[in-house]
Amino acid sequence: MPITRRRAEAALAGLFLLVAGPVPAAVELDLPAGAGLAAEEQSARDSHLVPAGPWSAEDGVPGLRAEGTVTRRVWRFDGPGRTTLQLIAPLREQLRAQGFEVLFECRDRACGGFDFRFEIEVLPAPAMYVDLTRYRFLSALRVREDGAADHVTLLASRTGRAGYLQLVHVASGGAEPLETRAPAAQTAAPALPLAEALEARGHAVLEGLDFASGSSELSDRVYPVLEALAAYLVADASRVVVLVGHTDAVGALDGNVALSRARAEAVLRRLVERHGVPPAQLRAEGVGYLAPVATNLTAAGRELNRRVEAVLASTD
Q: Domains in the chain: how many in total?
A: 2
Confidence of residue 212 (pLDDT cuts 50, 70, 90): low
**Which tens digits make up the pLDDT trace of 161-204?**
889 999 999 998 877 777 877 665 444 444 568 988 898 889 99
**What was the pLDDT predicted at 146?**
78
pTM of the model: 0.56
Q: Which domain holds residue 297?
A: 194-312
**For residues 102 and 89, what is the distance between their CA atoms, to the nearest angstrom?**
12
Q: What CATH number does residue 107 fall under?
A: 3.40.1000
Indicate if the alpha-carbon torsion angle 191, 197, 200, 204 is positive or negative. positive
Indicate whether 199 and 156 sit together in one domain.
no
- Choice among 136-145, 156-165, 291-300, 301-310 with the minimum mean pLDDT: 291-300
Do residues 109 and 45 make contact, with C-beta atoms less than 8 angstroms apart?
no
With a pLDDT cut of 70, the percent of the chain lying above it is: 87
Indicate whether 147 and 209 sit together in one domain.
no
Indicate whether 148 and 210 sit together in one domain.
no
Report the DSSP pairing between strands 179-181 and 28-30. parallel
Mean pLDDT on 251-256: 92
Indicate whether 182 and 202 sit together in one domain.
no
Picking from 148, 169, 186, the residue at the C-terminal end of a domain is: 186
Alpha helices in 157-312 (DSSP H): 194-201, 224-234, 253-275, 299-305
**What was the pLDDT predicted at 304?**
84
Indicate whether 297 and 234 sit together in one domain.
yes
Q: What CATH number does residue 308 fall under?
A: 3.30.1330.60
Indicate whether 182 and 206 sit together in one domain.
no
Indicate whether 25 and 164 sit together in one domain.
yes
Do residues 48 and 3 make contact, with C-beta atoms less than 8 angstroms apart?
no
- Choice among 183-197, 206-220, 222-236, 265-279 with the minimum mean pLDDT: 183-197
Indicate whether 23 and 108 sit together in one domain.
yes
The answer to whether the bond into 51 is cis (omega within 30° of 0) is no
| Angle separating helix axes 253-275 and 224-234, nearest 10 degrees | 70
Indicate whether 281 and 245 sit together in one domain.
yes
Confidence of residue 160 (pLDDT cuts 50, 70, 90): confident
HSE toward the beta carbon, residue 87, CA cutoff 13 A: 31
Indicate whether 225 and 87 sit together in one domain.
no
Confidence of residue 150 (pLDDT cuts 50, 70, 90): very high
Indicate whether 180 and 223 sit together in one domain.
no
